[in-house]
């Protein structure tokens, strides 16, 4: 038996008196990170505080009626954002309607080795690239390429199904539906990326267990894997919804900016974000205050969605 030589225990006590630059760096670094963390919190507080402060006159004047009033009249100084709330929620909902099935489908497709890795990797890469395209580029493409391209199809739908209220207006150059489709493409990468991570982190034993009981691949995916990853998928949808609600530039370019809450998806509409983007330049007084009130509503809306997403995602991680 050989024993290792260790330093005597007294050296532990004396260490504080020695010159130790690493220790100092440690301390400085610690305070630096605390300061940075506090800064981030302060910025958030500052934004919320100023939103509240500037929105206060509008909140005093219009109260909760602001949410249900459809007038936006700078001459008579009467403001309400009902069409914008309607447009924001409807455009996000329509975008989810298209992006969720497609996104979950792509995520399953990318994780269930339907294709050899040589083809899968570029597809996954392209999906990530979709997220990197600036929103103004989507808007430009939408207005000059995409909307004109789908216009004949939408007109056909209008002619054939015009009796359904949702398709009751003849689609013009810009409309809520087209804006929602572009929005769907924009939020697709979020859904794919998070759903894909969720699906690929499922234990392989689940898959084998299902196949071992005589399940087909389709039954394994729909009855075992997707339900097992459901909370992760819901989390991805919530995050995508958060992005869709706040998306500004593309929608301001595509949605038509009409101050009406039409039941038809093919008519021009407006969202809170596009309203702010269009009006901030010449706004002052109560109009400015009303824009801030709208911004506050949008912030609360996205905050709620994000909190919900965090709750769902963390529940998923606990199961793991």
Partner 1 sequence: MNPSTRPNSASDTLENNDIVIRTENVSIFYGAFQAVRNVFLDVPKNNVVALIGPSGCGKSTLLRCYNRLNDLIPGARVEGKIAYQGVDLYDPKIDPVEVRRRIGMVFQKANPFPKSIYENVAFGARINGFKGNMDELVERSLRGSALWDEVKDKLKESGLSLSGGQQQRLCIARTIAIEPEVILMDEPCSALDPISTLRVEDLMHELKKQFTIIIVTHNMQQASRVADMTAFFNAEATEGGSRFGYLVEYDKTYNIFNAPKQQATQDYVSGRFG
In angstroms and rounded to an integer, the radius of gyration of the C-alpha atoms of the chain is 26
> Residues 281, 284, 286, 289: is their CA dihedral positive or negative?
positive
What is the 8-class DSSP label of residue 145? I
- Answer yes or no whether residue 314 interacts with partner 1 by CB under 8 A: no
Does 315 bind partner 1 (CB under 8 A)? Our answer is no
* C-beta of residue 309 within 8 angstroms of C-beta of residue 238: yes
Q: What is the DSSP string of 153-173?
A: HHHHHHHHHTTSGGG-S---S
* Sole window of 122-130, 140-148, 217-225, 259-267 interacting with partner 1 (rule: CB under 8 A): 217-225
- Which member of 41, 122, 209, 285 binds partner 1 (CB under 8 A)? 209
Residue 203 touches partner 1, criterion: CB under 8 A: yes
User: Rule CB under 8 A: is residue 223 a binding residue for partner 1?
Assistant: yes
- Which CB, 21 or 212, lies closer to partner 1? 212
Q: Measuring CA to CA, which residue among 271, 301, 199, 192 is closest to residue 237? A: 192
Q: Does 208 bind partner 1 (CB under 8 A)?
A: yes
Residue 78: helix, strand or coil by DSSP?
Answer: strand
Cβ at position 119, least distance to partner 1 in Å: 14
Contacting partner 1 within 63-92 (CB under 8 A) = none
Nearer of residues 146 and 211 to partner 1, judged by Cβ: 211
111 binds partner 1 (CB under 8 A): no
| 164 contacts 177 by C-beta, under 8 angstroms | no
Note whether 114 and 135 are within 8 A (CB).
no
Of 21, 63, 212, 281, the one binding partner 1 (CB under 8 A) is 212
Choose between 132 and 319: whose C-beta lies nearer to partner 1: 319
Q: Which of 288, 281, 285, 295 is nearest to 248 (CA)?
A: 295
Binds partner 1 (CB under 8 A): choice among 67, 130, 215, 283: 215
What residue ranges bind partner 1 (CB under 8 A)? 203, 205-216, 219, 223-224, 227-228, 319
């Amino acid at each position: 038996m050989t024993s290792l030589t260790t330093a005597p225990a007294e050296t532990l006590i004396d260490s504080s008196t020695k010159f130790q630059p690493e220790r100092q760096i440690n301390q400085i670094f610690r305070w630096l990170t605390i300061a940075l963390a506090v800064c981030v919190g302060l910025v958030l507080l500052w934004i919320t505080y100023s939103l509240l402060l500037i929105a206060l006159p509008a909140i005093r004047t219009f109260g909760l009626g602001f949410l249900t009033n459809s007038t936006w009249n700078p001459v008579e100084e009467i403001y309400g954002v009902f069409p914008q709330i309607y447009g924001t929620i409807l455009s996000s909902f329509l975008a989810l309607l298209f992006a969720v099935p497609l996104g979950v489908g792509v995520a399953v497709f990318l994780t269930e080795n339907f294709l050899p890795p040589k083809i899968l990797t570029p597809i996954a890469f392209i999906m990530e690239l979709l997220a990197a395209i600036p929103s103004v580029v989507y808007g430009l493409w939408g207005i000059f390429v995409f909307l004109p391209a789908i216009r004949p199809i939408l007109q056909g739908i209008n002619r054939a199904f015009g009796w359904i209220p949702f398709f009751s207006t003849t689609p013009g150059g810009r409309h809520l539906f087209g804006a929602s489709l572009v929005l769907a493409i924009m939020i697709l990468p979020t859904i794919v990326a998070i759903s894909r991570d969720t699906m690929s982190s499922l234990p392989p034993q689940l898959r084998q267990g299902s196949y071992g009981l005589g399940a087909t691949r389709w039954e394994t995916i729909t009855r075992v894997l997707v339900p097992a990853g459901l909370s992760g998928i819901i989390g991805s949808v919530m995050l995508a919804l958060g992005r869709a609600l706040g998306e500004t530039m593309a929608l301001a370019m595509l949605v038509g900016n009409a101050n009406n809450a039409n039941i038809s998806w093919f008519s021009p509409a407006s969202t809170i974000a596009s309203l702010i983007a269009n009006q901030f330049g010449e706004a002052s007084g109560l109009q400015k205050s009303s824009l801030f009130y709208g911004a506050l509503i949008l912030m609360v809306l996205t905050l709620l969605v994000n909190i919900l997403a965090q709750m769902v995602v963390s529940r998923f991680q606990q199961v793991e």
